[in-house]
Amino acid sequence: MNDRIVFEDVSKFYGEILGVNRVNLSIPPGITSLVGPNGSGKTTLMNLMTGLVKPTRGRIQVLDCKTDDPENLFKMLGYSTQFDAFPKGLTGFQFLYSYLRLAGRDSRTAEQMAWRAIERVNLVEAAERNVAGYSKGMRQRIRLAQALSHDPKVLVLDEPLNGLDPLARAEMIALFRSAAAEGSYVIISSHILHEVDVISDQVILLSNGYVVAEGQIHNVRSEIQEHPTQILIRSSRPRELAAKMLQYEHTIEVSIHKDEHGLLLKTRDADRFYLALNDLAVSGIDIESIAPADDDVLSVYEYLIGTEEAVR
């Protein structure tokens, strides 16, 4: 029994255009974010995972299912795409109901499941209106409802927070977290890095069709050797602390915080820094808190992909 979403040496070319190349992934349960600039291959990876496009090379397996077996794949997978088109003439409810009937549910069950999904995305009042008249946010929500409607084990969500207002974003994030907490696989693509940082258990960084890094943010960060680790230290005596820290060979740079109650330190060896800090604490320097300053998606993204593409 396979409990991962596995990509083995997967490449996808659209004619001569590269979609993704030589992707090897093993995605565990939890929230996994695909991060990368436009055209980096996020949507291609999702389309490959859901069988909407076929790999030019390699093999993909979603838990125990192959992606060319939609009958079984979509029993356990829901995909909210970025495609902003719907079958014509359907209301929000009919859209979900039809989808569930296509899935083979009987009328009564389909109706119940459709309404439950509509309630989960807070779209009850608009459910009987034609989807063509929905706002962008409502269309996003009805797509999410479709993906969620059959309680899938794997949720693939392409830019799911696009077009949602702050309240709806918070609700959706809570929804994703709750699904992940129940053991589901939630794969999200996003270019809003601070949201990714907040919700992700692990990230996959993509650039120009290649996977640049994958794993938990902290682990990914610690593997980036060429950029010094930045640490924010809160202390009532920052200048004294800075002077002491500069005596260590692994310290590269220290700057005093604007409020004079802390300092930002750059070190090339985080482990040795923490050992040294213990010594300083024992020697009586007051240290209120220590926090990594670049142990987040944004920093990792900037280090690996570049600052100009990063979207805050």
Q: Which of 2, 22, 64, 87 binds another protein (CB under 8 A)?
A: 87
Q: Which of 7, 93, 99, 248 binds another protein (CB under 8 A)?
A: 99
Residue with tokens 């409810």: 93
Q: Which amino acid is residue 112, in one-letter code?
A: Q
Binding mask 35-64 for another protein (x = CB under 8 A): ------------x--xxxxx----------
Instruction: Write the CA distances from 12 to 7, 27, 79, 203, 249, integer angstroms.
Output: 12, 19, 19, 21, 47
Q: Which of 16, 88, 226, 289 binds another protein (CB under 8 A)?
A: 88
Q: What angle do CA 237, 243, 248 make, to 5 degrees?
A: 125
Tell me which DSSP letter residue 200 carries. Answer: -
> 57 vs 194, which CB is nearer to another protein?
57
Work out whether 226 is an interface residue with another protein (CB under 8 A): no
Work out whether 75 is an interface residue with another protein (CB under 8 A): yes
Work out whether 27 is an interface residue with another protein (CB under 8 A): no
Q: Cα-Cα-Cα-Cα dihedral of 253, 256, 258, 264, to 10°?
A: 50
Tell me which DSSP letter residue 152 carries. Answer: -
Work out whether 245 is an interface residue with another protein (CB under 8 A): no
The β-bridge partners of 79 are 156
Q: Which of 7, 74, 176, 185 binds another protein (CB under 8 A)?
A: 74
Enumerate binding residues for another protein (CB under 8 A). 14, 47, 50-54, 68, 70-75, 78-79, 81, 83-89, 98-99, 101-104, 106, 146, 150
